[in-house]
Amino acid sequence: MVSKAQKYLFFLMLLVCVTMAAFLIRLRNRAQDRLQEQAMSAPAEIAEAATSAPKTVTLYVPNDLDDSLTAVERKISLPGDRNAQARVILESLVEAYRAPDSTHPMEVASGIDDVYFLSVPQGQDTTGGGGQIAVVDLSGALATAQPSGIEPETLTLLSMMATLHANLPAVTQVHFLVDGQPRETLAGHADLTRTYLASEVDRPSAAVPGGGL
């Protein structure tokens, strides 16, 4: 036999459950609306940034014949997002690789899938704080098009590191992935298992405005 008190308790708990369910559904709907609003506004922000005035960036273009990097200035429109900025800058460098008169020729349509940043762990940061590791996700197409050899592979990595550090000075270390995965070498030689110190790449001091591209 169910007592009156138990009946009251049952209905009370049922009421609490229904109220909580309604509250959770409302919260979920609000979150959904907020995400939709962000998704709608994001393309507008990117479009706005992409059409902003071009900025001068420095690219370090390799030369296979004398094993050197030449600083070249280019004006390009950069998006507001820092990760996207790094990707656009490196894509400009890859564009220099595939130019008809390239000194580091590579037939590749698109070379950079993504770039993202991590903070340098404490104790490894030689800049006194604020140093960042750029994780550069190279496309499989770039790794395939990369001429094999110690010199050409090392020059590709050095040019990317020097270019990133010149335009985003907080980047002190660089790690490379290919198609989002760790890989032993770029094209049979240059080691991709280690994290490189971008701040120690020897770079020429003079930048050539628009030269060589």
Partner 1 sequence: MPSMPAPLPLPAQGPRFLVVVDAAHGGSDTGARIGDGVLEKDITLGIAARLRSTLHARGIDVVTIRTADVNLLAVDRAQTANHAQGAACLTIHATATGSGVHLYTSSLTPTTNARFMPWQTAQSAYVTQSLKLESEIDSALAHAEIPVSLGRASVAPMDSMTCAEVAVEMAPLVGGHVTGAKPVTDVSYQKQVVDAVAAALEQWRSDWRQ
Q: What are phi and psi of 39, to 5 degrees?
A: -65, -35
Cβ 165 to partner 1, closest distance in Å? 16
Round to whole Å and give the CA distance between 12 and 15.
5
Cβ 151 to partner 1, closest distance in Å? 5
Q: What dihedral do alpha carbons 170, 116, 144, 200 form, nearest 10°?
A: 20
DSSP string across 14-71: HHHHHHHHHHHHHHHHHHHHHHHHHHHHHHHHHHHHHTSPPEEEEEEEEETTTTEEEE
Q: Which is nearer to partner 1, 83 or 199 (by Cβ)?
A: 199
Cβ 193 to partner 1, closest distance in Å? 8
Cβ 152 to partner 1, closest distance in Å? 5
Q: Is the dihedral of CA 180, 144, 69, 59 positive or negative?
A: negative
Chain positions 45 to 64 lying near partner 1, rule: CB under 8 A, are 64
Q: Which is nearer to partner 1, 29 or 193 (by Cβ)?
A: 193
The verdict on 131 binding partner 1 (CB under 8 A) reads: no
Cβ 135 to partner 1, closest distance in Å? 17
Chain positions 163 to 192 lying near partner 1, rule: CB under 8 A, are 184-185, 187-191
- For residue 203, CA distances in Å to 4, 82, 131, 180 come to 86, 23, 19, 28
Q: Which of 4, 65, 101, 129 binds partner 1 (CB under 8 A)?
A: 65
Interface ranges with partner 1 (CB under 8 A): 64-67, 147-152, 154, 184-185, 187-191, 194, 196
